[in-house]
Amino acid sequence: GAGVSQSPSNKVTEKGKDVELRCDPISGHTALYWYRQSLGQGLEFLIYFQGNSAPDKSGLPSDRFSAERTGGSVSTLTIQRTQQEDSAVYLCASSYGGQQGSGYTFGSGTRLTVV
């Protein structure tokens, strides 16, 4: 597609439920990133996929968070047993290759609210 697509745009879930957030990157972009944006906290890096390499999971805040990328394209971020502190906007971005100089293209995000 023309841009990075994320779904759903908004998600309200009950504490303790699992949620899946989807990201469809720009066609041909081999690198995909997930960030979390909390109010006043900027963007917190979660996980990074580059081609067929093992993902960089160093930013995942707990083992309740996981992500996969199928066929080098679509990615799903899963949060198990959601907690209220997981409420945030989850942003996905993609870039061409792993070189950081090209900058990222961001999706519009998924706003997650845990009640």
Contacts with other proteins by CB under 8 A lie at 4, 31, 33, 35, 40-43, 45, 48, 50, 56, 59, 91, 93, 98-101, 103-109
CB-CB contact of 95 with 31 (8 Å): yes
CB-CB contact of 94 with 62 (8 Å): no
When the beta carbons of 35 and 65 are compared against other proteins, the nearer one is 35
* Cβ 38 to other proteins shortest distance, Å: 10
What is the phi/psi pair of residue 102, to 5°?
-80, -15
When the beta carbons of 43 and 74 are compared against other proteins, the nearer one is 43
